[in-house]
Amino acid sequence: MSAPRTPRDELAEATPHGGLYLRRLIRSQLGLSMLALVAFGGFLGSLPLALYLLPGLHDVDVLGVPLPLVLIVLPPFPVFVAFGWLYARRAQALEQAFRELVEPRE
């Protein structure tokens, strides 16, 4: 008797069944990326609008520099790194889950 077929075999042989697994993986990764994109786009995209709608911020000084300038020069970059780091961690976890799904270890 041959060993039971795992999803990995279905994927390797490109059966319709394997195709389902593949699409599920792509959808889950794409979902995560889109979520990150929306969150990030919301953050970066709202910045010009906020500064446009709140011209009064110009009168607020931070160490002698108007607040809008400070806001676009310094804080966004650490936020970018945080977004990237969180995303990379989640993407890694999704891949690990996929590995365990298609090649269950006994």
Partner 1 sequence: MIALAAILAVTGATVGLGAYGVRFARTTSDLFVASRAVTPWWNAAAISGEYLSAASFLGIAGLQMKLGSGALWLPLGFTAGYLALLLFVAAPLRRFGAYTISDFAEARLRSPRLRTLSAAIVLLIGGFYLVPQLKGAGLTLGEVVGAPYWVGVVAVGGVVALNVALGGMRGITYVQAFQYWVKTFAIALPACLLLLHLGGLPERAAMFGRDYPRAPDGGLAVTLPGPTRATFPDAARVRAGGRELSVRAGERVLLPAGRVELPAGTAVPVADGTDAQTGVDWSAPVSAEGDASPLFVYSLLIATFLGTMGLPHILVRFYTNRDGPAARRTTVRVLGLLGLFYAFPAVYGALGRVLVPQLYLTGETDAVVLRLPEAAWPGLGGELLGALVAAGAFAAFMSTASGLLVSLAGAATHDFRRGVPRSPARRRLRFRLAALGAMVVPALLALVARGLDISVLVGWAFALAASTFCPLLLLGIWWERLTARGAAAGLVVGAGAATTAIFSGLVLEPSDRTLDALLTQPAVLSVPLAFATMALVSLSDRPARRPPDAELLALHAPEGLGLGLEEEDVDAVRA
Binding residues (CB under 8 A) for partner 1: these are 8, 11-12, 14, 18-19, 22-23, 25-26, 29-30, 33, 36-37, 40, 44-45, 48-49, 51-52, 55, 58, 64-66, 68-69, 71-74, 76-78, 80-81, 83-85, 87-88, 91-92, 95-96, 98-99, 102-103
Q: Output 1 or 26, the one with its CB closest to partner 1.
A: 26
Q: Which H or E element spans position 61?
A: strand 61-62
Supply the minimum distance, in Å, between the C-beta of residue 1 and partner 1: 23
Helix, strand, or coil (residue 31): helix
What are the angstrom distances between the C-alpha of 11 and each of 2, 28, 52, 62, 106?
18, 17, 51, 57, 20
Q: Output 1 or 75, the one with its CB closest to partner 1.
A: 75
Yes or no: say if 79 and 42 are a contact pair by the CB < 8 Å rule.
no
